[in-house]
Amino acid sequence: MVGIEHRMPYFSSIDDEMLRRSRGRDLLGALPIWSAFGKNLVPYLAAPVTDINGIKVVLFIYWLKDKLDLPDDNPSQFRSVFKVLEGFFEYYLHHSEEYDCCFGIKALEVAEEFSVGGDDPRIVCNGLYQYYRGTCRRCKLLKDNWDVPESVAQIFSSPKLEKLPKLFKQWIGSKAKYIPVELLKKKDVSQCLKSLFLLPELDELLRKTLLGEDMHIKFAKGCGEILNDPEAEQLLTPCAFHSKLQENFGKGCNPIHSEITSKLNNIEKCEPFLVCVYECFEYMHSAGGSSIGALADGLGDFEKKLRNAAARFLYFENRSHSERSGGFIQLAKAVVSDDGNMESFMHALLNHHEVIMTGRRKMPSVCVESDKLAVHSEPAVQREVLVGNKTPSIWRNHYYFWTAGTIYNQLWR
Amino acid sequence: MSTEKDSKLKVRDTFDYMLSRFKDRSPELTLFSTFNFSASFFETNILPLFGGYSFENLKSSEVLPYSLNNSLKGRKIAVICDRSAHPEPKGNYRYGLLPVGLKNGRFHPKIMLMYGDLISDGKVDKKEKGLWLSVGSCNISFSGWARNREVIGCTRVVDKHRSELEILLRWMLKRAGFYSKSRSAAEEGETSIILNDLLDCLENNCPKDKPDSYPDLFLGLPEHKGGSLLSRMKGKHDYDKAIVVSPYWAGVSCLRRKLGARDTSFVPSIFSGGKHLFNCESKDLLKYKFLKFNFGNNENASEAERFTHAKVLWLEKKNGNYLCVGSANFTEAAMLGKSDSFSNVEMMLRYSVTSKKWSEQFTTLDVDRIATNTDASEGAPPLPPFEAEVLYDWDAKKFKYLIDCDPVFRKKLTLLVGGIEYKDLVRNGSLDFDAKKPIRSFVIKYPYKNTVEKYYGLVIQLGGDESDLGYKKKRRLDEMIDSLLKIDVESVGYDSFSDEIGDSSEEGHRDECKSFNFYVFFQAMYKLRLSQKKKCTAVDYSILNELYVAIDVEPQNELNRINKYVQLLELEETLSFFDGKLDGGDDPFRKRDDLKSELGKLEKEVVELVRGAPSLKGMFGKIGARSQCPKKIINWFKAELCFVQKDTLDVV
CB contact under 8 A, B437 and A361: yes
Q: pLDDT at position B497, please?
A: 37
Q: Which residues of A touch B514 (CB under 8 A)?
A: 323
Query: Across the interface, which of B61, B121, B508 has its CB nearest the CB of A32?
Result: B508
B310 sits in the region (left: phi over 0; alpha: psi -120 to 50; else beta) called beta
CB contact under 8 A, A361 and B41: no
Q: Under DSSP, is residue B223 helix (H, G, I), strand (E, B) or coil?
A: coil
Largest CA distance in chain A: 86
Architecture (CATH level 2) of domain B220-373: 2-Layer Sandwich (3.30)
Q: pLDDT at position B496, please?
A: 34
Q: Which residues of A touch B307 (CB under 8 A)?
A: none
- Residue B146: closest C-alpha in chain A: A15
Q: Which residues of B touch A107 (CB under 8 A)?
A: 56-57, 60-61
Task: Point out which residues pair with B414 in neighbouring strands.
Answer: B445
Q: What whole-number distance in Å separates Cα of residue B107 and Cα of residue B468?
A: 30
Query: Across the interface, which of A7, A14, A120 has its CB nearest the CB of B146?
Result: A14
Q: Which residues of B touch A106 (CB under 8 A)?
A: 57, 59-61
CB contact under 8 A, B60 and A13: no
Question: What average pLDDT does range A325-337 have in this prediction?
Answer: 87
Residue A179's closest CA among A119, A124, A115? A115
Q: Which residues of A touch B38 (CB under 8 A)?
A: 21
Residue B310's closest CA among B197, B480, B151, B152? B151
Q: Which residues of B touch A72 (CB under 8 A)?
A: 495
The alpha-carbon gap from A85 to the nearest alpha carbon of chain B, in Å, equals 17
Q: Where are the domains of chain B?
A: 5-209, 220-373, 387-462, 477-504+513-651
The alpha-carbon gap from B142 to the nearest alpha carbon of chain A, in Å, equals 6
- Residue A75: closest C-alpha in chain B: B498
**Is the confidence at residue A408, as pLDDT, over 80?**
yes
CB contact under 8 A, B153 and A6: yes
- pTM score, whole prediction: 0.64
CB contact under 8 A, B505 and A130: yes
**Is the confidence at residue A276, as pLDDT, over 80?**
yes
Residues sharing a CB contact under 8 Å with residue B476, sequence separation 6 or more, in sequence order? B550
Percent pLDDT > 90 in chain A is 36
- Residue A360: closest C-alpha in chain B: B474
CATH number of B5-209: 3.30.870
Cα distances (Å, whole numbers) of residue B289 to B107, B266, B433, B581, B638: 30, 6, 59, 82, 87
Task: Categorize the per-residue pLDDT at A56 as very low, low, confident or very high, splitting at 50, 70 and 90.
Answer: very high
- H or E element at residue B480: helix B477-485
Query: Across the interface, which of A18, A370, A377 has its CB nearest the CB of B142?
Result: A18
CB contact under 8 A, B215 and A31: no
Q: Radius of gyration over alpha carbons of chain B, in Å?
A: 31
Write out pLDDT tens, residues A166-206: 999 988 887 778 999 999 998 889 999 999 999 999 999 99
**CA terminus-to-terminus distance, chain A:** 64
- Residue A400: closest C-alpha in chain B: B508
Q: pLDDT at position B502, please?
A: 40
The alpha-carbon gap from A145 to the nearest alpha carbon of chain B, in Å, equals 7
Which of B134, B204, B349, B506 to probe the A interface (max A CBs under 10 A)? B506
A186 sits in the region (left: phi over 0; alpha: psi -120 to 50; else beta) called beta
CB contact under 8 A, A130 and B149: no
Q: Which residues of B touch A358 (CB under 8 A)?
A: 437
Burial bucket for residue B20 (CB in 10 Å: 0-12, 13-18, 19+): exposed
Fold classified for B387-462: Immunoglobulin-like (2.60.40)
Q: Do domains B5-209 and B220-373 have the same CATH topology?
A: yes
Q: List average pLDDT for each run of 10 residues in chain B, which is 652 residues long.
A: 62 94 92 91 88 66 71 92 86 91 93 93 69 97 90 97 97 80 72 94 91 94 91 93 95 94 94 82 90 76 83 94 97 88 95 92 91 72 87 91 93 88 93 85 86 86 86 74 74 40 41 58 86 69 82 68 87 85 69 87 87 77 73 83 53 34
Q: What whole-number distance in Å separates Cα of residue B339 and Cα of residue B380?
A: 20
Cα distances (Å, whole numbers) of residue B81 to B89, B139, B172, B344: 11, 9, 10, 13
Q: pLDDT at position B494, please?
A: 41
**Residues B401, B389: contact at Cβ < 8 Å?**
yes
**Residues A165, A68: contact at Cβ < 8 Å?**
yes
Q: pLDDT at position B448, please?
A: 85
Count of A–B CB contacts within 8 Å?
229
Q: pLDDT at position A213, please?
A: 93
Task: Point out which residues pair with B98 in neighbouring strands.
Answer: B80
Q: Which residues of A touch B147 (CB under 8 A)?
A: 14-15
Residue B18's closest CA among B128, B177, B126, B130? B130
Residue B553's closest CA among B479, B476, B606? B476
**Residues B102, B344: contact at Cβ < 8 Å?**
yes
- In chain B, what are the helix, strand and coil shares in percent, each to the nearest 5? 40, 25, 35
The alpha-carbon gap from B59 to the nearest alpha carbon of chain A, in Å, equals 6
Cα distances (Å, whole numbers) of residue A213 to A45, A219, A263, B11: 13, 10, 15, 57
Q: Under DSSP, is residue B611 helix (H, G, I), strand (E, B) or coil?
A: helix
Query: Across the interface, which of B17, B64, B152 has its CB nearest the CB of A126?
Result: B64
Q: Which residues of A touch B63 (CB under 8 A)?
A: 22, 121
Percent pLDDT > 70 in chain A is 85
Q: Which residues of B touch A145 (CB under 8 A)?
A: 486, 488, 496
CB contact under 8 A, B61 and A122: yes
CB contact under 8 A, A2 and B156: no
Which of B4, B7, B10 to probe the A interface (max A CBs under 10 A)? B10
Q: pLDDT at position A397, please?
A: 55
